[in-house]
Amino acid sequence: MKKIALLGSTGSIGQQTLDIVASNPDLFSVEVLTANNNANLLIDQALKFMPNVVIIGNETKYPEVKEALSELPIKVYAGCDAIAQVVEMGSIDTVVTAMVGYSGLLPTIRAVKAGKQIALANKETLVVAGDLVTRLAMEYRAEILPIDSEHSAIFQCLVGEADNSVEKIILTCSGGPFHGKSAEQLSKVTVKEALKHPNWDMGAKITIDSATLMNKGFEVIEAKWLFGLKPEQIDVVVHPQSIIHSMVQFCDGSIKAQLGLPDMRIPIQFALGYPIRIKNSLARFNFTDHVTFTFTTPDTKNFRNLALSYEALNKGGNLACVLNASNEITVKAFLNEKISFTEIAKINEQVMEMVPFVGHPELNDYMESDKSARIYAEEVIQKRLKTNI
């Protein structure tokens, strides 16, 4: 029986993780549930899964959660510090990090230092501080298992290949809803259009990141740290069918791929069950339903975020952290209809030039860089709003 702490239980990955737990009560139990804001769903989940501890990030919602669970033997806490602390609990085997954005960094570092197994869905942790987090994971012998579908695919292709050398990996990319659109067309994209992903059903932040190719850029960075690769060993290919989830090319030219229907429950289940594959009754892929697989090069000219990620990887230091922080602000501004779709990448690029470069950042430097990138991004947005009026 594996005991799980699920950080970000009310989001898309969090809910699907609980689906897997519910389908496999003899394999998994929930020790901790945390959510940022959605108190109602957190309460429902706590009543169903009976964890030992429940934490709500937003402290103003504490009384509501506490009251709803007061009759039960569940400890209720609130705030980000509590979330970062709880991962150290002795009874936890695996920490599933499914929260959104930068907020995943500190709890993940605490979990790594406590030597916990990490099932990593919060890719921003490795984007922001991949160097630090992977160094700590080695030092504290904390295993990091990817949940991101592309990285799960690569991880699955690498099983049994420990002694063999990888030439490169090929991350597949659906291209998002706007693949093939011109700069002119992209500048007029609405929030509603951007929130419709052709293949995957995900949260709002990652859906916009998929549409701008920021998500793919982050995945390139995530792959570098997870698999110890050089930037030039990571290719991206647009595969709109989203059936091949990614590939590994070995030193003999052989390519291994992992395929399946786009359903996040498969990579979540693989991470939770690893090294065992767990039988399930999810829908199966059928080759005769998908007779055409296509592959094209991503458009890094009109989708600048992908190019910015390679730039951040090549230059290293705090640049990816800055890109992530700026992007959290610009995506929010786009969702609030303050900036256009194409301004997301434009402002990200500006902010990368504004924040002072730190070559070998430690945790404090990352925290500082994150803070100043957010301030600069807000400033650029305010300036643009003023000139647009």
Which of 31/148 has CB closer to Mg ion? 148
Name residues contacting Mg ion, limited to 127-166 (CB under 5 A). 148-150
Which of 114/257 has CB closer to Mg ion? 257
Instruction: Collect all residues with Cβ–Cβ distance below 8 Å to 170 and sequence separation of at least 6.
Output: 235, 236, 237, 246, 247, 248, 249, 255
Structural tokens at position 130: 């991949």
CA distance linking residue 68 with residue 339, whole number of Å? 40
Q: Position 118: which residue type?
A: I
Which of 7/147 has CB closer to Mg ion? 147
Which of 150/365 has CB closer to Mg ion? 150
The answer to whether 124 contacts Mg ion (rule: CB under 5 A) is: no
Minimum CB separation of residue 150 from Mg ion in Å reads 5
User: What's the Cα-to-Cα distance from 216 to each of 153, 287, 388, rounded to whole Å?
Assistant: 14, 26, 30
DSSP string of 65-106? HHHHTTTSS-EEEESHHHHHHHTT-TT-SEEEE---GGGGHH
DSSP H helices in the chain: 12-23, 39-49, 62-68, 80-86, 105-113, 124-139, 149-158, 183-186, 191-194, 204-212, 214-227, 265-273, 304-315, 319-335, 341-354, 363-388
Minimum CB separation of residue 149 from Mg ion in Å reads 5
Which of 61/197 has CB closer to Mg ion? 197
**Residue 275 preceded by cis peptide, ω within 30:** yes
Minimum CB separation of residue 90 from Mg ion in Å reads 32
Minimum CB separation of residue 219 from Mg ion in Å reads 6
Query: Binders of Mg ion: how many residues, by CB under 5 A?
Result: 3
Which of 45/210 has CB closer to Mg ion? 210
Minimum CB separation of residue 25 from Mg ion in Å reads 28
Structural tokens at position 374: 């957010």
Task: Using DSSP, state whether 37 is helix, strand or coil.
Answer: coil
Which of 150/370 has CB closer to Mg ion? 150
Minimum CB separation of residue 197 from Mg ion in Å reads 11
CA distance linking residue 13 with residue 252, whole number of Å? 36
Choose among 243, 260, 266: nearest CA to 19. 266
Which of 125/149 has CB closer to Mg ion? 149
Minimum CB separation of residue 366 from Mg ion in Å reads 23
Residue nearest to Mg ion (CB): 148
Sheet holding 166-173, edge to edge: 234-238, 166-173, 244-250, 255-259
Name residues contacting Mg ion, limited to 51-90 (CB under 5 A). none
Rounded to a whole number of angstroms, the CA Rg of the chain reads 20
Minimum CB separation of residue 148 from Mg ion in Å reads 4
Minimum CB separation of residue 101 from Mg ion in Å reads 15
Which of 124/150 has CB closer to Mg ion? 150
Task: Using DSSP, state whether 171 is helix, strand or coil.
Answer: strand
Interface residue list for Mg ion (CB under 5 A)? 148-150
